[in-house]
Amino acid sequence: MPVDLSPIDPSAPGFVDIYDQLPLWSAPFGLRLLELVPLVREQRILDLGCGTGFLSVELAERSGRDSRVVALDPWSEALERLRRKLRFRGIENVEVVPGRAEALPLADGSFDVVVCNLGIHNVDDPQVALRECERVLRPGGSLLLSTNLSGHMRELYDVYRGVLSDRGLPTEGLDRHEAARGTLEGMRAALEAAGLGVTRAEATSFRLRFADGTAVLEHWFIRLAFLPAWAALVPEDERPGVLGELEARLNERAAAAGELALSVPGAIMVARKP
């Protein structure tokens, strides 16, 4: 059966009501942030790129009702879903604010803590966003962020590179796509360039397990977040054949190993404003 290349439209009515990347992608990183974030009463916390509000809700409840969380994201539908969660749970110490990370509509020095779970590389200019984080932190305040690192899903990318090479297609675009996630050293340099002192730089990883390559390519979140970029690396008329071959080779690998496991490396960074 050919790989389904039909796009998933995030603007479609009802999308946000069924969208939930948390179990697949962001939970391992978010849970690690929750182990490290200061949890004290009467603090102000910014959840930058809050999405539908997993961290915002947890931080608000775990820090106590006399703390204040600002949940910020440009995705209006996600913010409305978060508002529904807050109303249902009776949480009153979260302020939902629409906005972009590169131009925070927030006062200088107004937060004790900023958290950002897998959001820093989803903005147009990560360096500007980090400078904005530094601006809104009070002196002595902390930024905690998680991010993916280069080498994510390397098992799939290695197979894909082989498919392209065997078909005489360039692999440079795939190399750039894979390397775009950055490195631990690069994140440290970016934080320091924003005027923040790194106090923790922790490499972490988890695995995504699938029955085979078909299950990977048919997975809803993979089709939403990854497959369009993978397909765009080859000419349109070549895509069905290339992705079909990728699927077949991944299936062979899964048959030999008993499953298909994809590595997802990441980093947890903690930085402090002097």
| CA–CA separation, 125 and 109 (whole Å) | 21
**142 has pLDDT over 70:** yes
In this predicted structure, what is the pLDDT of residue 179? 84
Arithmetic mean of pLDDT over the chain? 94
Phi, psi of 260 (to 5 degrees): -120, 115
In the chain, what are the domains? 15-272 (3.40.50.150)
Q: Report strand pairing: 111-117 vs 137-148.
A: parallel
- The torsion of the CA quartet 49, 50, 54, 56, rounded to 10 degrees, works out to 120
Which whole-number Å values give the CA distances from 157 to 109, 160, 166, in the listed order?
42, 5, 14
Q: How many CA atoms lie within 13 A of 113 on its CB side?
A: 27
What's the N-to-C CA distance of the chain in angstroms?
57
- The pLDDT tens digits for 70-104 are 999 999 999 999 999 999 999 999 999 999 999 99
Cα dihedral sign for 195, 200, 203, 208?
negative
Q: How many CA atoms lie within 13 A of 33 on its CB side?
A: 29
Report pLDDT digits (tens) over 42-56.
999 999 999 999 999
Q: pLDDT per residue over 25-48, tens digit each?
A: 889 999 999 999 999 999 999 999
Strand 260-272 relative to strand 197-210, pairing: antiparallel
Distances, alpha carbon 91 to alpha carbons 30, 55, 56, 131, in Å? 20, 13, 10, 30
What is the reported pLDDT for 12?
85
Tens digits of per-residue pLDDT, 188-197?
999 999 999 9
Which pLDDT band holds residue 23 (cuts at 50, 70, 90)? low
1 pLDDT band, cuts 50/70/90, is low
Give the containing element (helix H, strand E) for 153: none
Rounded distance, CA 19 to CA 224, Å?
A: 10
In this predicted structure, the answer to whether residue 21 has a pLDDT above a threshold of 90 is no
